[in-house]
Chain A
């Protein structure tokens, strides 16, 4: 039974391969091969200009005994804790509000989606000025003198705020699509049964939108674990709070490209990939408990 395909079916299978070939080839050259190379590089010392020498596990030994690395790992995890639950919850709230019958709905949708259209670099520059300790508008409004970006206590929170702000729109649009797929009849039946708005939210909206929310959650978590550009744009290398702010990807950038230590940088990348893999596996295992695929 296994390999007994009719001639027509085999032809169809061949066509299938041809159709996906561009994607597979592209993926292999642009993603898969560099990934393999990164693994190899993580066992090497970079001598300069692309010349490497195999040094075994030394990069990993150095990495695990480095306090800066552990701090960066914690910063990354902390950043996820700060951004993911709040970000997704706010996105859901926005999606529900935009799904309701409000005036200027399209206008609001545009406004919430705008941050995504802006270049991340521009976004970071603007927020940098908003957060500026001396002249920033935020401190002017609050009447405080908080060193948002340069104090070790607030720096990561400031970056988290920007991250949430710029991702809400995109997540909300995805969730909105999920919400609009919920049949109206469910709500009608539910309200005939005498359920209030809050009850409707928990018994209909949340379960029905949970598959979309699951995708959003996975994507948001991965993005947060890989955060780099915002930190790069918002904090200079003379920032005294850098140690309490830098994520794993930022540490990787500084090791690989500023200090030129590609091997060590690659080890950090592999560690991050492992971390993301672990978290994603946990999520897939956990989804059985709360994601509803059938009614």
Chain B
């Protein structure tokens, strides 16, 4: 009888040892982790990993998705302890903070053996800018490029007898149509909420203002054009046709739009495929168009849209740097970027690999005016960033919240926002 527990113990021990052995790379492969934040792009990322591992069977790459909010907390903690994922997405909000601190591997010379001037030949200036550090070196291989479009509900426009928005639409048309739709259908018009990249930034640049000055050392909230755009943007919530911020804190405009409660909002083109597949009942009922122009801009022609781009980065002192750099090199090729585009989630940054993105919508049977996205790249503005961006992002949001909930008036809030950005930027530059 006594032997049985002993044998059980031995068996358990063996099982334990075996499972421990499983943790090592028993298969002899180099295992890499690849961290992203958008679950809608998991399939396309796995596809390019598969394309790489098909050619390099000794490498295995695991794609991990973390939500946007937790992504940066996790990544920074990992950076401190030098345990960053092998490959990860980098965003313009954060790249200067990471790059200027020496956390990211310099990939400027990655393609020197293939083609000198590879980046300049195959990527747009904005794409390169979004992947560069303050020193002008590349700290990531450009992944994609995007801009912001106006999404509208065709049925509501029809019901109110308002013609669909087009390239000539101005802010006045936007508010007028919103009023008419609200009067005719009781549905909300344009949904303007407390948001920078998908919100007021676009309006500020349309009006000829700026969020950061050209040299990125100061904020532009003290400029009359910026203030005017902010006044217009926040003022929209005073109308009956726009819900107020207490509403948006619970219901995102995208949710309201696809629940057929509101008729218009701004969306990044990277979300269009995800929205199309998530709301099949809405197919054919909605479309996208150009952002409305500022009717009387202080400078420029009143057109602008924010263009952002992500890049693939790796840690400066990663343990498997050689292998990882080879993977990154592949991710920046025409082949990999074509594959990524073909999932319709994001437009690859490599010039000439855009078409598969558009084809993906056609294949899936979603008829959207995607030409808009291509046209808008001609006058798009590079996404706002400087190395202090992670420091001022949330304080600026908090400050603007005070204007939304009536705690302060907009002028005071804008003055404070100017101070917050200027001080954070000065502190970052002095380090």
Contact = CB atoms under 8 A, between A and B. Distances in A.
Contact of A147 (B103, B246, B395): B246
A240 B394 contact: no
Contacts of A152: 405
A279 B214 CA distance: 53
Nearest to B246: A150
Contact of B394 (A50, A134, A236, A258): A258
Contacts of B298: none
Given A240-B404, A243-B407, A258-B394, A49 B251 contact: no
A50 B80 contact: yes
Nearest to A134: B251
Interface residues of B, number: 31
Nearest to A129: B250
Contact of A238 (B79, B80, B390, B397): B397
A58 to B, nearest CB: 13
Contact of B195 (A134, A238, A239, A260): A238
B405 A240 contact: yes
A216 interface: no
Contacts of A239: 249, 401
Contacts of B52: none
Nearest to A256: B73
B249 A49 contact: no
Contact of B73 (A50, A133, A257): A257
Interface string B73-115: 1001001110000000000000001000101000000000000
A272 interface: no
Interface residues of A, number: 28
Interface string B368-411: 00000000000000000000001101110110011011010000
B194 interface: yes
A1 interface: no
B245 interface: yes
Interface in B233-247: 245-247
A89 B16 CA distance: 48
Contacts of A88: none
A254 interface: yes
B248 interface: yes
Interface string A116-136: 000000000000100011100
Contact of A134 (B81, B250, B391, B402): B250
A48 interface: yes
B350 interface: no
B237 to A, nearest CB: 11
Contacts of A258: 73, 393-394
Nearest to B70: A257
B193 interface: yes
A50 B101 CA distance: 11
Given A50-B80, A243-B407, A260-B76, A238 B249 contact: yes
Nearest to B397: A237
Interface string B214-236: 00000000000000000000000
B431 interface: yes
A236 B249 CA distance: 6
Contact of B395 (A150, A151, A241, A259): A259
A244 to B, nearest CB: 9
Contacts of A240: 245-246, 249, 401, 404-405
Interface string A143-159: 00001011110000000
Interface string A221-239: 0000000000000011111
Contacts of A151: 246
Contacts of A133: 246-247, 250
Interface string A26-57: 00000000000000000000011110000000
B391 A238 contact: no
A95 interface: no
A260 B390 contact: yes
Contacts of B193: 238
A241 B391 CA distance: 22
Contacts of A243: 398, 401-402, 407
B391 A259 contact: yes
A132 B250 CA distance: 7
A128 B250 CA distance: 8
Given A47-B431, A241-B405, A260-B390, A149 B80 contact: no
Contacts of B103: 49
Interface string B401-423: 11011010000000000000000
Contacts of B245: 150, 238, 240
A49 B79 contact: yes
A242 interface: yes
Counting chain A CB atoms within 10 Å of each CB, which of B249, B250, B390, B394 scores highest?
A: B250
Contacts of B79: 49
A183 B151 CA distance: 71
Contacts of A132: 250-251
Nearest to A50: B80
A177 B402 CA distance: 49
Contact of A48 (B101, B195, B404): B101
Contacts of B431: 47-48
9 contacts: A147-B246, A149-B250, A150-B250, A236-B249, A240-B246, A254-B394, A257-B76, A259-B390, A259-B395
